[in-house]
A and B are shown apart, each in its own frame.
Chain A
Amino acid sequence: MSKKILIADDEQNIVISIEFLLRREGFEVLVAGDGEEALARVRAEKPDLVLLDVMMPKMNGFDVCQALRADPELSATRILMLTAKGRDTEVSKGLGLGADGYMTKPFSTKELLAEVRKLLET
């Protein structure tokens, strides 16, 4: 059974590119355009991995991450934060809130795939 990945980002073009990339690699891909939608879809669909943008409308990535980690049913869900703000404080804040990995935009598609595979294997 293929792994299920949710892409949560408000930038349509970024969603399109990642979605295309992951589908080509054989993952099942879900999409959310803001924080609240992302949280709802994770609870409903229980994806194996969430690619979570930090700067999103309605609810930012950190809050989503925190909410997910507060839910014991979702403890198996891996979280990979994606952000355009690449400062160290942001990285540590994300990891501190329970994210499993962190990538700074713009990223290399190869690295993103490698990170995704790594998180799904463990």
Chain B
Amino acid sequence: MAKAVGITPTRMELLRLRQRVALAQKGHDLLREKMDALVIEFFGIVRRIRDARVKAMRRLEAAYHALSLCFALQGTIETHQAAREARKELVVDISTRHVMGILVPVFDVRPIERHALARGYSLYATSSALDEASREFEKVLGGLLKLAELEEGARVIALELEKTKRRVNALKYVILPGLKAMVKFISMRLDEMERENFSRLKRIKAMLEARE
């Protein structure tokens, strides 16, 4: 029976296995706590994404409305021409924050709204509708970057959550039951050996008494 399981039923092995069970149990408990914490983080970030998306969509709606007005008042070709002339620069400071060993990006955006003169297109050839549309889109950009930061955070947290859950399940359903079965097997085998020894001794004692 011992050969079928592939372990040697000794006291030393039993002690070693008990240590392995304790380690696996500790690992399971802590990883489960980590998983719970990741779930909290994930739902927190999802809630923030929902709010940021609603805000961004509202601002985008206003920005596209302003752009439509600009197209109507100034003309499509002129608006496209002004867009080509505009300065396309954005300073973003990308850093990180830690969420339980996961690096989540943090975008620190400098104020995006620019003065009409700083945008780069000719004020002479364009109407105020273009300034209004530009301002609206500059307002949107900060919100979109915040949304990107949150969505990337949610993605990395979800990946880590999946990985942690797989480990917790492996420990709970495969490793711990396997180790516990081995401990049980060795304990039973040792008990059996003890009983065998006991009956052997009794038999020898009876034989010796009979001889005398």
Chain B binds chain A:
no
